[in-house]
Amino acid sequence: MGSALLSQWIDGPEAITVVDPAGSEVPEGVSLVADRAEIADRRFDCIVAAVKPQLIDDILADYAGNLAPGGYVLSIAAGYSAVRLSKLMGDAPVIRTMPNLPAAIGRGVSGICPGPHATSAHTGHAENFMRRAGSTITVDSEDKLDRVTAVAGSGPGYVFEIARAYAEAAMAQGFDEDEARDMVLGTIGGAIAMASEPSAASLEDLRNSVTSKGGTTAAGLAALNGDGGLSTRLHDTLQAAYDRAVELR
Ligand SMILES: NC(=O)C1=CN([C@@H]2O[C@H](COP(=O)(O)OP(=O)(O)OC[C@H]3O[C@@H](n4cnc5c(N)ncnc54)[C@H](O)[C@@H]3O)[C@@H](O)[C@H]2O)C=CC1
Ligand SMILES: O=C(O)[C@@H]1CCC=N1
pLDDT per position as a tens digit, 26-52: 999 999 999 999 999 999 999 999 999
Q: Boundaries of CATH 1.10.3730.10 in the chain?
A: 155-248
What pLDDT, on a 0 to 100 scale, did the predictor assign at position 49? 98
Distances (CA, A) of 168 to 111, 174, 221: 32, 10, 18
| Residue of the CA atom closest to atom 33 of ligand 1 | 20
Any ligand 1 atom below 6 A from CB of 58: no
* CA gap 89, 194 in Å, rounded: 46
Q: Ligand 1, residue 3: give the atom nearest the CA.
A: 13
Domain at 2-149, CATH from 3.40.640.10, 3.40.50.1820, 3.40.50.2000, 3.40.50.720: 3.40.50.720
pLDDT number for residue 27: 94
Task: Specify the residue with its C-alpha closest to ligand 2, atom 1.
Answer: 154
Q: Which of 160, 86, 145, 89 is nearest to 113 (CA)?
A: 145
> Which regions of the chain carry the CATH code 3.40.50.720?
2-149
Q: Which of 62, 94, 60, 88 is nearest to 75 (CA)?
A: 94
Give the mean model confidence (pLDDT) for residues 213-222. 98
Average pLDDT (88-100) is 98
CA of 25 to the centre of ligand 1 (A): 14
Of the CATH numbers 1.10.3730.10, 3.90.380.10, 1.10.443.10, 3.40.50.300, which one belongs to the domain with range 155-248? 1.10.3730.10
Mean of pLDDT over the chain: 97
Binding site membership of 59 for ligand 1 (Cβ less than 6 Å): yes
Look at residue 170 in the predicted model and tell me its pLDDT.
98
CA distance 106 to 141: 25
Pocket probe mutation, ligand 1, options 51, 54, 58, max atoms within 8 Å of Cβ: 51
* 184 alpha carbon – ligand 1 mean position (Å): 30
- Give the other-Cβ count within 10 Å of 69's Cβ: 6
* Residue whose CA lies nearest to ligand 2 atom number 5: 78
pLDDT at 122: 98
Model confidence at 24, pLDDT cuts 50, 70, 90, reads confident
Q: Considering the entire predicted model, what is its pTM? A: 0.96
% of the chain exceeding 90 in pLDDT: 98
Do 91 and 61 touch, CB atoms closer than 8 A? Answer: no
Q: How many CB atoms lie within 10 A of CB 173?
A: 9
Distance from the alpha carbon of residue 47 to the mean position of ligand 1, in angstroms: 14
For the chain, the C-alpha Rg in angstroms (whole number) is 21
Q: Is 6 in the pocket of ligand 1 (CB under 6 A)?
A: no
Ligand 2 centroid vs 213 CA: distance in angstroms? 41
Binned at pLDDT 50, 70 and 90, residue 152 comes out as very high
Ligand 2 atom nearest to CA at 78: 5
> Which pLDDT score, from 0 to 100, does residue 42 have?
97
Average pLDDT in the 169-179 region?
A: 98
Do 94 and 118 contact (CB within 8 A), yes or no? yes
Which residue's CA is minimally distant from atom 8 of ligand 2?
154
Return the pLDDT at 23.
83
Given pLDDT bands bounded at 50, 70 and 90, which one contains residue 12? very high
- List, chain by chain if needed, residues with CB within 6 Å of any ligand 2 atom: 78, 149, 153-154
Pairing mode, if any, of strands 67-75 and 94-98?
parallel
Q: Distance between CA atoms of 216 and 211, rounded to whole angstroms?
A: 8
- Which atom of ligand 2 is nearest to 1's Cα? 8
Is any atom of ligand 1 closer than 6 Å to the C-beta of 19?
A: yes
